Structure 1
Amino acid sequence: MSYQTIVGLEIHVELSTKTKAFCSCANEFGGEPNTRVCPTCLGLPGGLPVLNKNVVNYSVMAGLALNCHIAKKSKFDRKNYFYPDLTKGFQITQDDMAICSEGYLEIEGEEGLKKVGIFKVQMEEDTGKSLHTEDNETLMDYNRCGVPLIEIVSKPDMNSGKEARLFLEKLKSTLKYIGVSDVKMEEGSLRCDVNVNVIDKTTNKKTQVTEVKNINSFRGAEKAIDFEVNRHIELLKNGEDEVKTTRRWDDVNNQTVLMREKYTVADYRFAPEGDLLEVVLTDEWINDIKDKLPELPEEKKKRFIKDYKLPEYDAEVLTSSQQLADYYEEVAKRFDDTAMISNWIMTEILRRVENVEESFDLPFTPEDLVELLQTIKDGKINNNAGKKVLREMFETGKKPMAIIEEQGLIQISDTSEIETIVETILSENAQSIEDYKAGKDRAFGFLVGQVMKASRGKANPQVVNELLKKKLNS
């Protein structure tokens, strides 16, 4: 039997505006519970919403970055449902007239480049937060209520958990680049629900869509989808079916758990939000936002390949973070060996940086790295000494030349000095000379190692190799 997986995503992204969506309360993570609230975000009588203009600006920026059509006229709606963290008994959102629609993002899918459609991007407000205690009490923190969100609804164009993860990674990188959100999953700035069902391609029978919530990582999203795909295939094999359900992801047991039957549109009783006017955008407004939009990751990657002659993989890694890309370009302005810069950043620097997506704050400047690379390229120190210097730069923040001078790492390039060491090593290793002449390549490597050891790693390796070959072949 052959099966096709169908995956759609609903992603909620908190916007990084200074204040909330419809009031002047601070939009900041954390704080003492219930201290960043007012009558408006608490839904108290008389508290009327006033739209934050930057919520509109940031939503349009996101829509443009996601190749969406920007609606010149959109409206807000009330989504009615009961939950303790919903202060007003309804959520201000957008239903049938969202601000952005019909966009897409491209990912490297299972069979090459794939365009994943985006149904809409809508503005809405966040809810409060339930805190569960060990005494089986539930406490409410409403600091988060009214925080501005965009909900990004993809089309069901993904066919595996891996494709969904790639889409989420690309989306996160894009939104971080344009600065509309910090997209920190651990702080709830980016949250994802997945919708999954499976089609039996032989009979065309399909399972009902399952929505999975409570996913706190991209890898978790991939695992939740894979788990559901296997569960749905078993339903098809057994001739079973179920109603549309909402399940939650149990990250400890790596499985989904039934929560309830899935809500339908009718359950939410959508109605226009009477306290807010329609949002009307002009061409001038949209074009002004478009002109200020920064270079996007995909565009930057293509430019890195073209301008710096980098392989696609290197360009992909170096443009994965705005800060990392900026650092590379600052070094490249001062040092013309772009391949060498890429090699040192990717191999020696990134392995010492815990999370390049969140922070690329190094204890030394681009100018310091240029100084180190130039010293290596000029032959004043060798690669191994350079790695030692870089490690010290990370640990102490000292300048590279200061470390080189302190530790006496200047490379010996004087041919006569190295020749003396080579002759001494050859006189002490007659057997290795015989082995080399007998065609044993390891013998040459051994002799090089002995010369480097005798010079305490300071001898220029190129000169060492040349002199050894010359003397061994004479």
Structure 2
Amino acid sequence: MPYDEALEKYEPVIGFEVHVELGTQTKMFSDAPNPAALGGTNDAEPNTQLVPLDLGLPGSLPVVNETAVRYSISLGLALGCSIAPSSRFARKNYFYPDLGKNYQISQYDEPIAFEGSVDVELPTGETFTVPIERAHMEEDAGKLTHVGGAAGRIQGAEYSLVDYNRAGVPLVEIVTRPIFGADRLAPELGAAYVSTIRDIVRALGISNARMERGNLRCDANVSIRPRGSETLGTRTETKNVNSFRSIERAVRYEIQRQAAILDAGGSIFQETRHWHEDTGTTSSGRPKSDADDYRYFPEPDLLPVEPSASLVEELRAALPEAPAVRRRRLRDSWGFTDLEFQDVANSGLLAAVEETVAAGAAPAQARKWWTGEIARLANAAGVDADSLVSPLHVSELVALVETGELTDRLARQVLEGVVAGEGSPSSVVESRGLRVVSDDGALIAAIDEALASQPDVLAKIRDGKVQAAGAVIGAVMKAMRGQADAARVRELVLERARA
């Protein structure tokens, strides 16, 4: 059903479960290396970052990672949650082909953090408050690789390979309450909410928070109900949507799909669904279990977590600026229009631009390079822009342009060299010989040669047709291999032609 038609008849109710991999050095319950450690790349060989506990081998016992607990409390506080004076781990029982012991250590009725909210700024500039039900600690499962199926999915696969490196990685799962009132902005709110969570955990310094690496994963819950009804509809849960754009598309698609089914007299089934990036659709996964189906019971091998009041206050005092407050401050200090600022924020490059400005670049120039040429190179390589080049190097590149040592054209070549690993911008300038030619003598020699070879152009310029100078400027720039200031060349061309 068309989206506008669906919204005329039905009200969407949404909710999100966001899993954040914590960047501790070791796993949640073992001393195995954490592949999601801060600054890590998750590129270790399969099944090399584990110990007997991660495989569920008999006789191995869990021990709680203290740093993971501190990170979890900090995140709970940043979400406006209350911190439980005592919380308990539980066993969540069902078959995990990628979790060796066939249960997950999680938290159920006694989470570490509960009852919070977070302000989310929408692309329109509006602020929406999302209610948080809980944030609880748990361990991640391993990773399955499906071989022989379409696009690496389980459907049609011949067999699956399991990598236990990720098994036991510390997670915090953030669960919202049902979100009412988003209406037609529900898809945009979903993307903005997860982006806000990413900003929070990055500001806290507790996670790499890269969606493409699985450090941040989102399950999107969607239900709809007829306009004016007080009864909630049956929800579906679209699993592991791994980009902001995909979250928006998945929520929008589910609203349209469910509306079409209800309008035709059908029923919505409570189930998990898989998101297909290539088609922009979801497909049925498995019936969605309720809590009773998981047979939760307290984890017998772990004591309750009981943080002291002094620890909670210590972590509260260390909280960074809230994302919404930070955005308003940066927008005002940079002097950006709302559109310019949203361009940066929506591209996920706010932190990169902020660090570049802090390193000395003008805000407008930092925005120009990050959202322009660097974003283009990142898109071509299929990676995040902030993984290509450091803010310090971008600031240095901007400075070389502003001092006249580089033109924008030359700066783009320098940037390519930096991205290729050839060193800092200054190093690339020297090694490639890309500095702007500022010697008027060399420029005049090239100009005189170009004018002598194009007497008709010279005559036109002398007759007052200054636009004809473009042909000479082009010839000079070619002769100088683009290493001349075009504006200065134009000045000298007109001077020499009229001499």
If the TM-score is normalised by the length of the shorter chain, which range does it land in? 0.7 to 0.9
- Aligned residue number for residue 27 of structure 1: 34
Residue 153, structure 1, aligned to residue 166, structure 2: no
After superposition, the Cα gap between the structure-2 partners of 1:55 and 1:357, relative to the gap in structure 1 and judged at 3 Å, is farther
Contact 1:389 1:400 in 2 (8 A): no
Contact 1:105 1:118 in 2 (8 A): no
The superposition leaves residues 59-117 of structure 1 with CA deviations (integer Å, 9 ceiling, x where unpaired) of 12222333333333322222232343344443221122211221214131668222222
Residue 95, structure 1, aligned to residue 95, structure 2: no
- Aligned residue number for residue 343 of structure 1: 368
Given residue 188 of structure 2, which amino acid in structure 1 is its aligned partner? K
What TM-score do you get using the length of structure 2 for normalisation?
A: 0.75
- Aligned residue number for residue 74 of structure 1: 87
Matches within 5 A, 1:418-429: 428=457
Contact 1:331 1:367 in 2 (8 A): yes
Residue 326, structure 1, aligned to residue 326, structure 2: no
After superposition, the Cα gap between the structure-2 partners of 1:273 and 1:369, relative to the gap in structure 1 and judged at 3 Å, is same
Task: Please point out which of 399, 403, 411 is paired with 1:375.
Answer: 403
Runs of at least 5 residues in structure 2 that lack an aligned partner in the other structure? 1-7, 36-41, 149-156
- Aligned residue number for residue 53 of structure 1: 66
The separation in 2 between residues aligned to 1:405 and 1:257, in whole angstroms, is 52
Contact 2:85 2:306 in 1 (8 A): yes
The superposition leaves residues 134-185 of structure 1 with CA deviations (integer Å, 9 ceiling, x where unpaired) of 5844554443332211111123325432321222223223323323222334
Given residue 189 of structure 2, which amino acid in structure 1 is its aligned partner? E
Contact 1:323 1:360 in 2 (8 A): no
What TM-score do you get using the length of structure 1 for normalisation?
A: 0.79
**Deviation for aligned residue 1:461:** 2.4
How many residues are matched? 458
Secondary structure at 1:67 match in 2 = coil
Residue 11, structure 1, aligned to residue 18, structure 2: yes
Compare 80-89 and 94-103 and name the one that shifted more: 80-89
Matches within 5 A, 1:394-433: 396-397=422-423, 399=426, 403=430, 406=433, 409-411=436-438, 428=457
**Deviation for aligned residue 1:8:** 0.9
- Aligned residue number for residue 152 of structure 2: none
Runs of at least 5 residues in structure 1 that lack an aligned partner in the other structure? 437-442
Residue 117, structure 1, aligned to residue 131, structure 2: yes
**Deviation for aligned residue 1:124:** 0.9
Contact 2:258 2:268 in 1 (8 A): no
Given residue 172 of structure 2, which amino acid in structure 1 is its aligned partner? I
**Deviation for aligned residue 1:230:** 1.6
After superposition, the Cα gap between the structure-2 partners of 1:110 and 1:401, relative to the gap in structure 1 and judged at 3 Å, is closer
Contact 2:359 2:391 in 1 (8 A): no
Greater C-alpha Rg: 1
Matches within 5 A, 1:204-353: 207-294=233-320, 297-312=323-338, 313-314=340-341, 316=345, 320=349, 322-332=351-361, 337-353=362-378
- Aligned residue number for residue 361 of structure 1: 389
The superposition leaves residues 7-54 of structure 1 with CA deviations (integer Å, 9 ceiling, x where unpaired) of 21112222121222122222224434376132x444444433221111
Contact 2:417 2:428 in 1 (8 A): no
The separation in 2 between residues aligned to 1:248 and 1:318, in whole angstroms, is 25
Residue 126, structure 1, aligned to residue 140, structure 2: yes
The separation in 2 between residues aligned to 1:239 and 1:42, in whole angstroms, is 48
Given residue 285 of structure 1, which amino acid in structure 2 is its aligned partner? L
The separation in 2 between residues aligned to 1:319 and 1:32, in whole angstroms, is 30
After superposition, the Cα gap between the structure-2 partners of 1:220 and 1:448, relative to the gap in structure 1 and judged at 3 Å, is closer
- Aligned residue number for residue 62 of structure 1: 75
**Deviation for aligned residue 1:255:** 2.9
After superposition, the Cα gap between the structure-2 partners of 1:340 and 1:195, relative to the gap in structure 1 and judged at 3 Å, is closer
- Aligned residue number for residue 184 of structure 1: 210
Contact 2:119 2:127 in 1 (8 A): no
**Deviation for aligned residue 1:56:** 0.6
The separation in 2 between residues aligned to 1:65 and 1:31, in whole angstroms, is 35
The separation in 1 between residues aligned to 2:165 and 2:410, in whole angstroms, is 52
